[in-house]
Amino acid sequence: MSEATHPDYLECLLKSWQAKPAESLSWLNQLRAQAIDRVSTQKLPTKRDEEWRFTDISSLTRLPYRPSQPDSNLHIQDIQHLFLDEVKNRLVFVDGHFSRQLSVIANPAFTIGNLPELLSTHAPILESHLGQYARFDSNVFTALNTAFLRDGAVIIAPKNTVVAEPIHVLFIATQSEVTHYPRCLFIGESGSRVTLIEDYAALEKAAYITNAITEISLAANARAQHIRLQRESTQAFHLANCAVSLAHASNYQSISIALGSRISRYNLDVRLTDEAAECVVDGLTVISDRQLADTHTCIDHSKPGGTSHQLHKCIADDTAHAVFNGKIIVRPHAQRTNSSQSSRNLLLSKTAQVDTKPQLEIFADDVKCSHGATVGQLDQEEIFYLRSRGLSEKAARNLLTYAFGAEIISRIPVTSLRQQLEQAVLDQTQSNSL
């Protein structure tokens, strides 16, 4: 294995960092400065790090991509195919930069916009949340994103606000050989209810790096449905961290779909910080060729009466490699925790690979925890049954593969997105014959 830490990589990035955009606030500059300090004391992870055992990002260090510059050449027709009918509010970021003309902001019942603009009107609330959940002390990518933090999506649902239509935050990559630092902050105040679609897409088969951070804070009794769609270029690197903080009796439902990227890594950390919080954390990875997709989740129960349910599925074809590491922590005071985790994996070729690992750290005694993992191929008897009804072997295999993924996709409460994904999974599994 090659040495992953190219000595110049972080240095190169450090040089491209500029102290501050003129008019920003001192607390934000401080946050950025702290983050860049952390970067200079850290190294890129290698396969020798337990947390990065399966995911070799050494090739990333050969591409010390500069931060992207704004490029305003994009027209609405170029990205229309990514839009969702149900959506009334859409934030579009092109190569990490907010695009006003591609975005639609229709709803005054809650706050939605990009970071620089909202800093002037919502500084106190932003200061108390931004950078508070995605900690950069020990994560070099979070530190980098925070250091380069300039733009981002901000959504604040005020107390008891119910937003019926889903909110679409679309990050589009158009340039090669750049690094984007997308950032999302979602604040759900008490009793609010929102559906959020976080979407990473590319228009061309470009090589670039996305280093994304999402922070979600749900106050008491707030509910959020968070759908995350990673459909980057298959030559891209996608490194993402999402940190979620759940207050009393709040409810967080997450569905993460990973289809794109040459190498992707998604860390999802959900902290149940108060009693009776609930989360459902589902995931689907569909990859082929030489793709690698690594999902690390950590669900941290620290108070009594919490619930977490997790179903993660991977479909890997060709020489693709899927990784799932699901950590569940139940801390000593988190009595009456109810937690389940299931990892189910489908290998479509002899050379595809899946590494799945449950990691349970349970320190309370009155808990209900279950977990299980399976790795398998398509069932020969099922294929025969379908063929005996006239379906070609290929159609039968595609239908069964599709059905495997459909269990997750069917949980998405947005019809047009479900249809886009059903098509994407069919395309990914090369179905033309259905």
Partner 1 sequence: MIIENSPTILSVQGLRASINGTEILKGIDLTVRSGEIHAIMGLNGSGKSTFAKVLAGHSAYEVTGGIIQFEGKNLLELPPEERARAGLFLAFQYPIEIPGVANTQFLRLAYNTVQAQRGKEELDPLEFDDFVREKMKLLEMKPDFLDRSVNEGFSGGEKKRNEILQMALLEPKLSILDETDSGLDIDALKIVASGVNRLTNKDNATILVTHYQRLLDYIVPDFVHIMQAGRIVMTGGKELALELETRGYDWISANKQQAMAGVRA
- Shortest reach from residue 389's CB to partner 1, in Å: 4
Among 100-108, 150-158, 330-338, 401-409, the segment contacting partner 1 (CB under 8 A): 401-409
- Shortest reach from residue 399's CB to partner 1, in Å: 6
β-bridge mates for residue 222, sequence order: none
Q: Which is nearer to partner 1, 122 or 394 (CB)?
A: 394
**Under 8 Å between Cβ of 250 and 220:** yes
Strand order in the sheet with 251-258: 97-104, 89-94, 167-173, 193-202, 223-231, 251-258, 278-287, 307-316, 337-347, 367-376
β-bridge mates for residue 341, sequence order: 310, 371
- Shortest reach from residue 415's CB to partner 1, in Å: 15
- Shortest reach from residue 234's CB to partner 1, in Å: 26
Cα 379 → chain centroid: 31
Our finding on whether 406 is near partner 1 (CB under 8 A) is: yes
Structure token pair of residue 175: 């340039």
CB-based contacts of 15, cutoff 8 Å, min separation 6: none
Per DSSP, the residues of 221-289 read T-EEEEEEEEE--TT-EEEEEEEEEE-TT-EEEEEEEE---SEEEEEEEEEE-STT-EEEEEEEEEE-T
Q: How far apart are CA 269 and CA 243, in angstroms?
A: 5
Q: Which is nearer to partner 1, 124 or 390 (CB)?
A: 390
Our finding on whether 407 is near partner 1 (CB under 8 A) is: yes
- Shortest reach from residue 117's CB to partner 1, in Å: 44
Three-class SS state of 434: coil
**Scanning residues 367 to 386, which ones bind partner 1 (CB under 8 A)?**
379-382, 384-386
Q: Which is nearer to partner 1, 104 or 395 (CB)?
A: 395
Closest C-alpha to 209, from 99, 41, 68, 2: 68
Alpha-carbon distances, residue 268 vs 134, 142, 326 (angstroms):
10, 12, 10
Q: Which is nearer to partner 1, 40 or 392 (CB)?
A: 392
Q: Which is nearer to partner 1, 106 or 403 (CB)?
A: 403
Q: Which is nearer to partner 1, 62 or 389 (CB)?
A: 389
Other beta carbons within 10 angstroms of residue 407's beta carbon come to: 13
Our finding on whether 18 is near partner 1 (CB under 8 A) is: no
Our finding on whether 331 is near partner 1 (CB under 8 A) is: no
Site residue total, partner 1 (CB under 8 A): 23
Residue from the set 108, 124, 389, 432 that interacts with partner 1 by CB under 8 A: 389
Q: Which is nearer to partner 1, 319 or 419 (CB)?
A: 419
Our finding on whether 390 is near partner 1 (CB under 8 A) is: yes
**Scanning residues 31 to 60, which ones bind partner 1 (CB under 8 A)?**
none
Three-class SS state of 38: helix
Other beta carbons within 10 angstroms of residue 427's beta carbon come to: 12
- Shortest reach from residue 422's CB to partner 1, in Å: 11
Residue from the set 309, 331, 387, 411 that interacts with partner 1 by CB under 8 A: 387
Q: Which is nearer to partner 1, 305 or 405 (CB)?
A: 405
Q: How far apart are CA 108 and CA 209, in angstroms?
A: 34
Among 22-30, 203-211, 264-272, 404-412, the segment contacting partner 1 (CB under 8 A): 404-412
**Under 8 Å between Cβ of 281 and 310:** yes
Q: Which is nearer to partner 1, 13 or 315 (CB)?
A: 315
Our finding on whether 220 is near partner 1 (CB under 8 A) is: no
- Main-chain dihedrals φ then ψ at residue 114, nearest 5 degrees: -105, 160
Q: How far apart are CA 330 and CA 340, in angstroms?
A: 12
Our finding on whether 73 is near partner 1 (CB under 8 A) is: no
Q: Which is nearer to partner 1, 336 or 394 (CB)?
A: 394
Among 8-16, 142-150, 268-276, 397-405, the segment contacting partner 1 (CB under 8 A): 397-405
Our finding on whether 418 is near partner 1 (CB under 8 A) is: no
- Shortest reach from residue 218's CB to partner 1, in Å: 31
CA Rg, the chain, in Å? 21
Q: Which is nearer to partner 1, 12 or 406 (CB)?
A: 406
Q: Provide the binding-site residues for partner 1, judged by CB under 8 A.
A: 379-382, 384-393, 395, 399-400, 402-404, 406-407, 434
